Chains A and B, each alone.
Chain A
Amino acid sequence: MILCRAVSKYYETLEGEKIHALADIDLSVADGEFVSVVGPSGCGKSTLLRLIAGILSHTSGDIFVRGSQVAGPRRDIGIVFQTATLLPWRNVLQNTLLPVDVQGLDKNTHTERAKSLLQMVGLDGFERKYPFELSGGMQQRVSITRALVHDPAVLLMDEPFGALDALTREQMNLDLQRIWATAKKTVFLITHSISEAVFLADRVVVMSARPGRVLAEFKIEFERPRSLDVMGSPEFGQLVTKIRRHLMVAGVLD
């Protein structure tokens, strides 16, 4: 579904300094797989997500999504950013339908779809509310429905729950697992929380500090659906510790 081959990214700062953001990234995500990427801040994991989304261009290497080379933004991808980035003048339903308006898709069928997505994230009855009337967690839920409304094959998530409080975050993790199971999407999740990565993913990719490289990959075999109790199990703790060690060995944990 997603394939990165020897992907590197350099960019220049405003002062003209050349920065090596990503080095030789080899990565693949299978159809319907949930992959989490963890790494220290500034390791280029958000950059990697933007390369896959086609909103940044890579310097060398190849990126394929569903077998075709990524050469720019594409419509078979949905993105959830770190901040919900809702449009304050649009109500919840209109925000969910933004991709439909932008891409000129059929309004009627997608309105039905948007409503069922809002129901799925627990926001039924909130269709006519405006973003300023919602909590941070609710806003991020809306941004998830917006990412899914045009039925993309791939869902890219860039630290989507980083700005939420711990309780809301756990709830969102449970909800995301459910959404992933129902919507059957391929999910690529960037996070800096190791336990969030392990809890949600089929596979966790660990990245190094800049220039970002793939340090290790871990298969996560806990049975689905996972409850939050999994986090208390010794196997879970061992995995988290192992991943943290990897990051510490590379001298990347702050």
Chain B
Amino acid sequence: MNDPAASGTASKPPTLTQRWWLRVRSQPEWVCTPLMFVVIFGGWEWYVNTYQVSELILPAPSKILVSLYDGLANGIYVKALMVTLQAIVLGFLFSAAMAFILGTLISQIRLLEAMIYPYVVALQTLPKIAIAPLILVWVGLGIESKIIIAALVSFFPMLVNTIAGLKSTSSDKLELMLALTASPTKTFFLVKLPEALPYIFAGLQIGIVLAVLGAIVGEFVGSKAGLGYLIIQMNYTMDVSGMFAVLVILGVMGVVLNTIITLLRQRIIFWQRTDVSAI
């Protein structure tokens, strides 16, 4: 017997609602992800309005959005963002370069490892943020102190990952290079370095997050400009929705920076398709 429903769907092209329903069934994230967003922020808005929560404690998402728009329109956010971004990027790049150079030296030269590594470990256990006031005393309130703090905070994970990566070369590949009479330099550039790249990039991904943290903390401790400075100022004037707006900007900036590194990683380490992004 012919099933009328089956023959019906087979002959007629599915209607718009049917197609939509099929899409939802096969890829529920298309509906569920926006739904989650609506639940969180709708719930927040509803809670704040219903229970009359003071704007000084928890502003509604709509208020934050207005603050964000105002700040973006009059340009103070962009100006502050540029200052902070500069500190983050410069600090991160300097730190990454130093971590790579020092990590290479430590991993390749035994004597240097014995001489330097104990201090590295000792400094690693120290909360770097505690040094921030000292840095400000030394270099002042300008952007230099933020660059240094961002660099300092992001340095160690990148150093440790560089060392771990350069020491993880498989013995098979080292034996191959030995058999081919490769010089240490050739072995480094042809095998050790490319093999260390996944580790190095994992370090960069942690490092960029910490560089953001370092720059903001530096601005908290003492500064004349930047997003961290803005948060402190808004704190004094009780502009809580403004503070939330800055947090939104910080969040977006963090995601963008992390995405840049992830894209670079996929581009450079093309032979590794199993990418687990850190943090």
Contact among B182, B186, B191, B273 with A87 in the assembled complex (CB-CB below 8 Å): B191
User: How many Å lie between the Cα of A238 and that of B180 in the bound state?
Assistant: 40
Contact A87 B190 (CB under 8 A): yes
Contact among A74, A101, A130 with B186 in the assembled complex (CB-CB below 8 Å): A101
Contact A53 B186 (CB under 8 A): no
Residue total for B at the interface (Cβ-Cβ under 8 A): 19
Task: State which of A28-36, A76-84, A224-232 sits at the interface with chain B.
Answer: A76-84
Contact B179 A73 (CB under 8 A): yes
Q: Which residues of B contact A130 (CB under 8 A)?
A: 271
A-B contact count (CB 8 A): 50
A102 interface contact, C-beta 8 A: yes
Contact A103 B180 (CB under 8 A): yes
Q: Which residues of A contact B177 (CB under 8 A)?
A: 102
User: How many Å lie between the Cα of A28 and that of B240 in the bound state?
Assistant: 86
Within B163-193, the residues touching A (CB, 8 Å) are 172-173, 175-182, 186, 190-191
B194 interface contact, C-beta 8 A: yes
**Contact mask A215-230 → B, CB, 8 Å, 1/0?**
0000000000000000
The chain B residue with its CB closest to the CB of A54 is B179
Within B67-112, the residues touching A (CB, 8 Å) are none
A134 interface contact, C-beta 8 A: no
Do most interface residues of chain A lie in helix, strand or loop, or is the interface mixed?
A: loop
**Min C-beta distance of B185 to chain A, whole Å:** 11
Q: Which residues of B contact A120 (CB under 8 A)?
A: none
Q: Which residues of B contact A89 (CB under 8 A)?
A: 194, 269-271
**Min C-beta distance of B208 to chain A, whole Å:** 24
The chain B residue with its CB closest to the CB of A77 is B179
A248 interface contact, C-beta 8 A: no
Contact among B180, B194, B270 with A99 in the assembled complex (CB-CB below 8 Å): B180
A251 interface contact, C-beta 8 A: no
User: How many Å lie between the Cα of A130 and that of B172 in the bound state?
Assistant: 19
Q: Which residues of A contact B176 (CB under 8 A)?
A: 79, 81, 85
Given contacts A87-B191, A98-B180, A102-B182, are A81 and B271 in contact (CB under 8 A)? no
User: How many Å lie between the Cα of A77 and that of B269 in the bound state?
Assistant: 32
User: How many Å lie between the Cα of A85 and that of B171 in the bound state?
Assistant: 10
Within A123-180, the residues touching B (CB, 8 Å) are 130-132
Given contacts A55-B175, A89-B194, A101-B186, are A73 and B181 in contact (CB under 8 A)? yes
Q: Which residues of B contact A83 (CB under 8 A)?
A: 172
User: How many Å lie between the Cα of A103 and that of B270 in the bound state?
Assistant: 26
**Min C-beta distance of A231 to chain B, whole Å:** 31
User: How many Å lie between the Cα of A54 and that of B269 in the bound state?
Assistant: 33
User: How many Å lie between the Cα of A111 and that of B177 in the bound state?
Assistant: 20
Contact among B172, B186, B270 with A81 in the assembled complex (CB-CB below 8 Å): B172
Interface CB pairs A-B, < 8 A, 21 = A55-B179, A72-B181, A73-B178, A73-B180, A74-B181, A79-B176, A79-B179, A81-B175, A83-B172, A85-B176, A88-B271, A89-B271, A98-B180, A102-B177, A102-B181, A102-B182, A102-B186, A103-B180, A103-B181, A130-B271, A132-B271
Interface, chain B (partner A; CB < 8 A):
172-173, 175-182, 186, 190-191, 194, 269-273
